[in-house]
Amino acid sequence: MDLKPLGASVSNSLLIAALNEKVDAIAAPPFRFADHLTSFAERVSAEVKFIPQTFPEFTDHTADIHFPNLFSLADKLLGKELLKDLYAEELLILALGLYGHDWGMAVSLGERELIVSGQLTSGDLDPLWLLEDEQARFQKFANDYKIALNTNGYASTLPDSHWREYVRLTHADRSATRAKRFFEKIDGGVAQSVAAVCKGHWLDIQAIDAEPR
């Protein structure tokens, strides 16, 4: 597989090396592993630049820093032997999950304005890829945090601290939604699996165990 567009640090990782080996062993792969992984990574990489706008205090989440660090950490935690024991499909989902799990933290200033102003409509879901019930979720958050809203669900003022908390609390579901929409017309199983990983990284272990298989 040619995964050079992912950058040397990622494409040379143990995880990607194991994925390469498994894919090369498949006579006629029914899924274009390299193409779909690369296109997903490029889409997410282009949008994580919005994370520092909301969370300037976070460690660097730009693509050139964030993703190499995640793949390096995965290599250290899982190790070469365990990675070699995984199937190509499992390695792919793991790689996609590393890219996509915090994608929902990337909410642009334009998206923030739509949500906070109460002007978000179904037509804004694509290509912005917000939650289908984003407006209702924000209104519930505003009620829980005693944020004054007008009859249209508009918040005239919203401290940055409250906005950060709203994005933080909803980011896993937003990541899952984006990943599912990205892959649903490509492969339904991949769409469902990557969405589950994105959602699952925010859940307690008991909640993960209770999820239907």
Closest CA to 170 of 122, 92, 110, 111: 111
Q: Determine the Cα–Cα distance for residues 110 and 113; give it in Å rounded to an integer.
A: 5
Place of tokens 């915090």: 102
pLDDT of amino acid 100: 96
Place of tokens 């599912």: 180
Q: In the numeric block, which tokens belong to residue 120?
A: 């978000």
Range name among 11-15, 56-60, 66-70, 192-196 with the lowest pLDDT average: 56-60
Q: What is the pTM of this model?
A: 0.88
Q: Determine the Cα–Cα distance for residues 87 and 98; give it in Å rounded to an integer.
A: 17
Alpha helix (H) ranges present in the chain?
8-11, 14-24, 33-47, 51-54, 63-85, 88-100, 109-117, 125-128, 134-144, 160-183, 188-200, 205-210
Domain limits, the chain: 1-100, 104-213
pLDDT of amino acid 157: 74
pLDDT of amino acid 208: 61
DSSP structure string for 186-205: T-HHHHHHHHHHHHHTTS-H
pLDDT of amino acid 4: 62
pLDDT of amino acid 53: 86
Task: Tell me what the mean pLDDT of segment 74-100 comes to.
Answer: 96
Q: Sorting pLDDT into bands at 50, 70 and 90, what band is 79? A: very high
Q: What is the pLDDT of residues 1-20, one digit of tens each?
A: 666 667 788 989 999 999 99
pLDDT at 211 over 80: no
Please provide the average confidence, as pLDDT, over all residues in the chain. Answer: 86
Q: What is the pLDDT of residues 158-174, one digit of tens each?
A: 889 999 999 999 999 99
Q: What is the pLDDT of residues 89-128, one digit of tens each?
A: 999 999 999 999 999 999 988 888 888 887 776 665 555 6
